Amino acid sequence: MKIIVCIKQVPNTTEIKIDPVTNTLKRDGVPSIINPDDKAALEVALQLKENCGAHVDVVTMGPQQAEVALREALAMGADNAYLLTDRAFAGSDTLATSTIIASAIKKLGADVVLCGRQAIDGDTAQVGPQIAEHLDIPQVTYASQVDYVDGALVVKRQFEDRYQTLRVATPCLVTVLSSAYKPRYMNVADIVAQDQKQVEAITFNDVVVNPEDIGLKGSPTKVKSTATKQFDKQIATYELGAEEAAKLIVDTLKQKHLI
């Protein structure tokens, strides 16, 4: 079984700062990480590799610096890594991004494509399902458990109030929740070993995509504006006994419909 895991390098959002003048993300000096859902998807793939001998490739689309994320995935146990990078890809929205990634997956071939449910920066949760549509394969989203049983995947989906278990034939695409799988730590030997592995670049000339469907020009969605939400700090001070204080807190939370 060949598995391709789509990983995205994202800014560590707990440390993100917004430029108050331009209202854009200040990326300089902000550490990047593998998107948490994608790391969980990689853990799924690595467990399938251990349990049934799967071959695991990782793919990311991004600038050259995204190689760092791929190298981390190699150190965790992925077999091959591919960086989709080209000026022609720049400015792609989710549809154009998924067009490019799907085209690379077609070229590489996969029985199972694993994505994270959602990226913590773009936050659309569109890319995984769009890749499945481009590849014309079934998709299962919101996976909290993935097993390979008798030639098919058995996927447990997590909803707010219930679980659903599905059996899905391969080839298929699954999007994984970060809460479901704890990614393994890299060990020193694997960190050293990944240095011997190549990260292969995939450029515009390597994929079969219509130039009209990718990049800024091929993106049907355009960002009209971005603005930072302003929060008014309203501070009130009370001197109350414990019981009165508790009542005030409960009443205030009720008033604000928070409880």
Ligand X SMILES: Cc1cc2nc3c(=O)[nH]c(=O)nc-3n(C[C@H](O)[C@H](O)[C@H](O)COP(=O)(O)OP(=O)(O)OC[C@H]3O[C@@H](n4cnc5c(N)ncnc54)[C@H](O)[C@@H]3O)c2cc1C
Q: Give the binding site for ligand X (CB under 6 A).
A: 6-8, 35, 37-38, 59-62, 90-94, 97, 101, 115-116, 118-119, 121-128, 219, 221-223
Least separation, in Å, of the C-beta of 100 and ligand X?
Answer: 9
Query: By C-beta, is 224 or 256 nearer to ligand X?
Result: 224
Ranked by CB distance to ligand X, the top (closest) residue is 122
Strand 9-11 and strand 32-34: the pairing is antiparallel
* Cβ atoms 49, 85 nearer than 8 A: no
Least separation, in Å, of the C-beta of 9 and ligand X?
Answer: 8
Least separation, in Å, of the C-beta of 170 and ligand X?
Answer: 18
Query: By C-beta, is 136 or 150 nearer to ligand X?
Result: 136
- DSSP string for 214-242: STTTT-S-------PPP-----------H
* Cβ atoms 197, 57 nearer than 8 A: no
Alpha-carbon dihedral 31, 32, 35, 40, rounded to 10 degrees: -80
Query: By C-beta, is 77 or 128 nearer to ligand X?
Result: 128
Least separation, in Å, of the C-beta of 75 and ligand X?
Answer: 18
Amino acid identity of 137?
I
- The token pair that represents 185 in the structure block: 């730590």
Query: By C-beta, is 15 or 244 nearer to ligand X?
Result: 15
Give bridge partners of residue 82 from the DSSP assignment.
59, 200
Quick check: helix, strand or coil at residue 65? helix
CA distance 42 to 200: 18
- The token pair that represents 150 in the structure block: 């008798």
Query: By C-beta, is 40 or 75 nearer to ligand X?
Result: 40
Least separation, in Å, of the C-beta of 129 and ligand X?
Answer: 8
Query: By C-beta, is 63 or 192 nearer to ligand X?
Result: 63
Query: By C-beta, is 103 or 118 nearer to ligand X?
Result: 118
Least separation, in Å, of the C-beta of 60 and ligand X?
Answer: 4
- The kind and range of the H/E element at 69 are helix 67-76
Least separation, in Å, of the C-beta of 163 and ligand X?
Answer: 21
Locus of tokens 């501070």: 235
